[in-house]
Structure 1
Amino acid sequence: MAQNTRSAKGSATGRKKPRAYDPVKTRAAVLAQFGLVREVVEGLSEEQLAGPSGLGEWSVRELAAHLSMAVSSVVRGLGEPAPESAEVGLLDWPFTTEKYAGQVADDTRAVAAGAPVAELYGRVAADIAEVLPGAADDRVVRTRVGAMRFADFLVTRTVELVVHSDDLARATGVEVPFDRQALAACTRVLADALAVKAPGASTEVRIPPFAVVQCIEGPRHTRGTPPNVVETDPLTWIRLATGRTQWADAIEKAQVRASGERADLVGVLPILG
């Protein structure tokens, strides 16, 4: 997944203490969401797999391959020697992926051209079930964007899985359910990334029931009802944050409620492309 071309104004190192994620719940969420995707992918016909994904020139088969890579990257990272220290934090990750978009696309095409998707998913499921139970949360793993704590890297996998599960559903017309914990983690990472990209406290962004963040430079609100409020549901937020939905369209369709002169996020969206 590649970030959009706008650079982040803030940085994760300048943010308040990062949100904590329960490693046990994160592990379960990754496995659960991959299982839900696998069930759908294995039921797709060859005609469906050959159809367009809606993501550039990728076919649905290539999208399915990319989804499997979100989990196989965990297996690969655990199979390599551990780096001495982490280079990339959880909230740095959304802003480090853009330059790898071409490499990701090449790797995706190569994986899609290999084994049939059912065989591919079966192999990945077996591999992750073998390595995940023994992995330490604080172990450092090598990732495409740099060395990360294993627990943080797993949280990024929920983002990849949820975002592309939604892509798969829209491309095929087949519902892909969301594991609640995976959806929550994805929502929170992208909300916190917004606060990093547009630091401030003039606007409150609410994504019930999972996240509330403050962002945008301007007068700080301390009590009572905030003068600038944005509220939306998790799936609409994820689509906005990744450029799948445009701000103006979401406003027009009443998918977003925005009040106040600073409650316009068009200048800071998307977060991740």
Structure 2
Amino acid sequence: MTTSETTVFLQAADMFADLCRQVPDGAWTRPGLGEWDVRALAGHTLRAVTTVAAYLDQPAAETAACPSAGEYFARVRTMPGADDRAVAERGRRAGRDLGADPAAAVRAAVARTRDALAVVAGRDPIVATIAGGMRLSDYLPTRTFELLAHSLDLCAATDLVLEPPPAVVESAVVTAAAALTHVGDGVATFRHLIGRAGGAHRPLFG
């Protein structure tokens, strides 16, 4: 595996950790996103980091049944565990797990995942994700996507300003376009991007 996917993912993880460091102490209980307060939103977002380390710690899958980041999102959006109530509860639980110092908990989790990725540097193992076995190089862009999406949500909830690394934005946009193509909205998305009529695509997550 080339280092690009790992590098961009870690840039996104560091971006999120730095954003959490800037959240004012009194802002963690503010409304965050949907049913979540800021703490729960941060907890949910951190799962984009911790799942990487968790999957690397599990036995490898035998085959890469899910071949791409776009296919991953096309699959997970229709899974039973993707319903709003289940996702909301996992986020609240993850928020509680951040403890008394959420920013420190995020930094520590990013460091653990960085170490886990260093162990497999130069390899591209098949990890057992909820969407099926995936090459690590295909899975990491899904995490970069989540980190950017919810870092922007976190900014909206806390009035912080984010200037994400260009490589993170590019990766997330490519992943979003691929996912929309898999659910049949690729042409509409392209029309929207180039300012043509007929670009009324459905949101990937709504």
TM-score range, shorter chain: 0.7 to 0.9
**Structure 1 match to 2:193:** 231
Residue 131 in 1 paired to residue 93 in 2? no
Give 2:89's aligned amino acid.
Answer: D
- Structural mapping, 1:115-126, within 5 Å: 115=99, 116-126=101-111
2:174 to 188, 192, 206: 188
Matched-pair contact (CA < 8 Å) for 1:140–1:149: yes
CA distance in 2, matches of 1:95, 1:204: 15
**Structure 1 match to 2:199:** 265
**Structure 1 match to 2:4:** 25
CA distance in 1, matches of 2:34, 2:205: 16
Change (3 A) 1:71 1:60: same
Matched-pair contact (CA < 8 Å) for 1:137–1:149: no
Matched-pair contact (CA < 8 Å) for 2:39–2:95: yes
Give 2:192's aligned amino acid.
Answer: V
Matched-pair contact (CA < 8 Å) for 1:137–1:151: no
Residue 154 in 1 paired to residue 140 in 2? yes
CA distance in 2, matches of 1:83, 1:45: 41
When the two chains are superposed, the root-mean-square deviation of aligned CA atoms in Å is 2.2
Matched position secondary structure for 1:42: helix
**Structure 2 match to 1:35:** 14
**Structure 2 match to 1:80:** 58
CA distance in 2, matches of 1:200, 1:108: 30
Runs (5+) with no aligned partner, structure 2: none
Change (3 A) 1:76 1:47: same
CA distance in 2, matches of 1:177, 1:128: 23
Give 1:131's aligned amino acid.
Answer: A
Runs (5+) with no aligned partner, structure 1: 1-21, 206-228, 233-256
CA distance in 2, matches of 1:31, 1:204: 28
Matched position secondary structure for 2:193: strand
CA distance in 2, matches of 1:111, 1:62: 6
CA distance in 2, matches of 1:131, 1:161: 18
Residue 46 in 1 paired to residue 46 in 2? no
Give the Å deviation of 1:199: 7.0
The total of aligned residue pairs comes to 198
Q: Over residues 208-233 of structure 1, what are the superposed CA-to-partner deviations in whole Å (9 max), with x where a residue is unaligned?
A: xxxxxxxxxxxxxxxxxxxxx4336x
Residue 113 in 1 paired to residue 96 in 2? yes
1:176 to 155, 162, 171: 162
CA distance in 2, matches of 1:50, 1:147: 37
